[in-house]
Amino acid sequence: MLFRSALAVCIGSQFRGHLEGVGGNSIQTHRIVCANGQCLAQRGLDASVAIGDNCHGAPVGFFELEGLGEAKFIVGIDDKLNASRVQCCPIRRELNLGGGVRNVADTNQYLHVEPFYFVIRATKCHKNRAEVLIFADPNSYKAMRQIQFREAVAEAMSEEMRHDQNVILMGEEVAEYNGAYKASKGMLDEFGPKRVLDTPIAELGFAGIAVGAAMNGLRPIVEFMTFNFSMVAIDQIINNAAKMRQMSGGQFNIPIVFRGPTASAGQLAATHSQAFESWYANCPGLKVVVPSNPYDMKGLLKAAIRDEDPVIVMESEQMYGDKGEVPEEEYTIPLGVADIKRAGTDVTVVSFGKIIKVALQAAEELAEEGISLEVIDLRTVRPIDYDTVIESVKKTNRLVCLEEAWPLGSISTEITYMVQKRAFDYLDAPVIRLTTADTPAAYAPTLLEAFLPNKEQLIQAVKQVLYRD
């Protein structure tokens, strides 16, 4: 089996070209994938953990692997290229060398990578250099599971409740009914009615109870049947949960997760089809997370539950049945780190949440025309991983923002501002944003279709920034 591997030149350190294949695999240098350690650090890696002289500048990089079949690897870094002393984090991944693209954002987890990018992290370096060993490990493979989005939610909450008895779940129908979307199935049986609580239809009331519980040492998870109903509770979320740490002079942390579905879920009309991500992102003291697949959902929700500040986790009714690969092992994904769902060279597309599917569909179709999209999933809209976006725009020189929300005051608007501020000279075309229509969502299916951004509009926008329309 032949693999071609690329080394990344990073800030303060350079990966050497000495790569060893173990088990009969030959590995040779291919091309540089990323020349900026800073952009790598934004993908869930601690780029400053290296030990040694002059090594604190991110000895971190991507491998690009090309080949046929499947291989299992441990990637490690050693200061003397001694396989017996290799310092693996350990980072173990299954590499399926024959599909799309996914950047790995976390460490110490098994992950299915559809090729060709593979993240490594240095734990040791020697005199301003880090050298890489990559070798096959037949014992490193563990199968990934296909689970539903709702199962990822339930697993994340259940695992954290097993770890910490102070974690509780409350909301409408979360207990006896197993959740309106069956996202808390089995949790009442396992944890009992003192930790899984059905609440009245009174969002303001139980949001306030959660804030008080958090001030007294508990870590509540509050489920809204939809974030449209969180408008009833927004006084408690904004005026108490988000501000209590500052108003108390740091005496109170508010470790709360407010979670539930967001945006359109089909023909639910105006009051049940709203996206409030930018509303909550506007408020200091809150973090706002919008996962787009089961893997991200589980890792981000676990990180949110462990966070010491209030976190808004917005899901989608239309995604609860979606399936995706999730490791057996526990893992977290750091908040505030974007993910490049598909690498490309011609146009950067920034999105988040379920509408990321539209971006990936458009990318597939445009690839047949020779147009390469880089699709960035923000995953967290407060804080926003601006660095990943900026580095991508510096490469592609073009940007399209795709968002399922109203245009005024949108996340797309914020991204556009930051790109013009930090990467104006790299832009070869004006930024285009695609949002919902500037009107309440309609019930009629034809009007709802016209309300939402779609694949055809995105393809047109991409061709427009490429001056091919």
Query: Per residue in 117-165, pLDDT tens?
Result: 333 333 333 333 333 333 323 333 345 689 999 999 999 999 999 999 9
Whether the per-residue pLDDT at 95 is higher than 60: the answer is no
Question: For residue 224, which of 291, 178, 172 has the smallest C-alpha distance?
Answer: 172
Catalytic residue among 272, 325, 374, 403: 272
pLDDT at 289: 98
The answer to whether 203 is a known catalytic residue is: yes
CATH topology for the 146-326 domain: Rossmann fold (3.40.50)
Domains 146-326 and 339-465 share a fold: yes
What is the rounded distance in angstroms from the CA atom of residue 347 to the CA atom of residue 193?
51
pLDDT at 145: 83
Find out whether 297 and 380 touch, Cβ atoms under 8 Å. no
Query: Per residue in 76-92, pLDDT tens?
Result: 333 332 323 223 333 32
Distance of CA 146 to the CA centre of its chain: 18
In terms of Cβ atoms closer than 10 Å to its own Cβ (0-12, 13-18, 19+), residue 12 is: middle
Catalytic residue among 131, 155, 203, 374: 203
SS3 412: helix
Query: Per residue in 309-355, pLDDT tens?
Result: 999 999 998 999 999 988 888 999 999 999 999 989 999 999 999 99
Determine the average pLDDT of the residues in 248-270. Answer: 93
DSSP 280-342: HHTSTT-EEE---SHHHHHHHHHHHHH-SS-EEEEE-GGGTT-EEEE-SS-----TT--EEEE
The alpha-carbon radius of gyration of the chain (Å, integer) is: 23
CATH topology for the 339-465 domain: Rossmann fold (3.40.50)
Cis peptide, bond prior to residue 116, ω within 30 of zero = yes
The answer to whether 94 is a known catalytic residue is: no
Containing 213, the helix (H) or strand (E) segment is helix 203-215
Query: Per residue in 447-467, pLDDT tens?
Result: 999 999 999 999 999 999 999
pLDDT at 243: 97
pLDDT at 175: 96
For the chain, give every domain's residue range: 2-143, 146-326, 339-465
**Residue whose token pair is 């279709």:** 449
